[in-house]
Amino acid sequence: MFHTASAFTSFSYFVWEKSRKIPVPKDFPENLPSMEGCLTDELINLITIQQEFMKLQSGDLHNTCRVIEGEYIDQLAQNELRTRWAIGPLSHHLGGRIEEQSNSSGENICLNWLDKQPPKSVIYISFGTTSSFVKEQIAELAVGIEESKIRFIWVLRYADRGDVFAEEDQSPELPEGFEERTEGEGMVVRGWVPQAEILNHPSTGGFLSHCGWGSCLESISSGVPMAAWPMHSDQPRNSTLLTQVLKVGLTVREWSHREELITASAMKEALRTLMASEEGEMMRKRAEELGRAVRQATEESGVSRKELESFINHITR
């Protein structure tokens, strides 16, 4: 089986939740966010159906890296008695970039703008392609961004297939005059952006994210700390991994307060903490150190490369 979620989430949900008496890694958080509200009924049904096929498994592939989650990979292997291969981040096995269909002019706008900004001065803001906000939250976020005086790239778009938890799609509308007032200090993009390139750009110093695992891996690999705003699925526990275990990010909204509106003042404080404080600088240094280790893991003789080779040997023996 190929796992696209973090090993931390898999361990905490499928192993620890079933038996809280098992040994856990020393850095395992005491208070995990509840899984309440994380999964749709359809996804729960899919997981239930998959369980009957688990006995056919001879091993598991994980899009993660032992540098990030080695202890949790080992815990999963010990508790479920199957071989585990941590072969990620997969994008790095493809030369560090996955080619995507894009508008090259749109790519140039973002990257060209970043070229003109000071090092580590820009926060990249994106919440993925399956989540959206009500207009009141967009307004509070916009005011918080504007008042923070932090440079930004904000990807504001419709969810590709609609918010999986929303009754209807919400059209993303900014407060009147926002883009004019922030011109030169930031840019709003309403289409596809080259996320990996933005995160790897030397002017990018932070990432405000929903904490989807793919985005987490890209940010970690790039050495960029995160402001965590989880929406659903595995995201609340990915957020815990980033903020409490790896300590390369801060929490914007606790999962227990997920129904509450995040105010502009709270948003401003989170952005300034991440981008313009000693605390944020310490997170950035830890993120940069972890990013270097993750990139080395996918190089020749790196631990992820060796895991991939071990898997290939296993299926071709």
If asked whether residues 260 and 127 sit together in one domain, one would say yes
90 within some domain = yes
If asked whether residues 278 and 170 sit together in one domain, one would say yes
100 within some domain = no
If asked whether residues 30 and 126 sit together in one domain, one would say no
Tally of domains in the chain: 2
If asked whether residues 114 and 189 sit together in one domain, one would say yes
264 within some domain = yes
148 within some domain = yes
CATH of the domain at 123: 3.40.50.2000
CA proximity to 201, closest of 58, 97, 315: 97
If asked whether residues 212 and 224 sit together in one domain, one would say yes
If asked whether residues 45 and 133 sit together in one domain, one would say no
If asked whether residues 126 and 266 sit together in one domain, one would say yes
If asked whether residues 155 and 284 sit together in one domain, one would say yes
101 within some domain = no
**Long-range CB contact pairs, 76-83, < 8 A, 24+:** 76/7, 76/10, 76/11, 76/15, 79/11, 79/15, 79/22, 80/15, 82/57, 82/58, 83/58, 83/59, 83/314
If asked whether residues 130 and 234 sit together in one domain, one would say yes
If asked whether residues 136 and 264 sit together in one domain, one would say yes
Residue 1, both tokens = 């089986």
If asked whether residues 73 and 121 sit together in one domain, one would say no
Question: pLDDT per position in the chain (317 positions), as tens?
Answer: 888 999 999 999 888 887 777 888 889 998 899 878 777 777 777 777 777 777 777 789 999 999 999 999 999 998 877 899 999 998 776 554 444 444 444 457 999 999 999 999 999 999 987 677 889 999 999 999 999 999 999 999 765 444 444 544 455 789 999 999 999 999 999 988 999 999 999 999 999 999 999 999 999 999 999 999 999 989 999 999 999 999 999 999 899 999 999 999 999 999 999 999 999 999 999 999 999 999 999 999 999 999 999 999 999 98
177: domain range?
107-294
102 within some domain = no
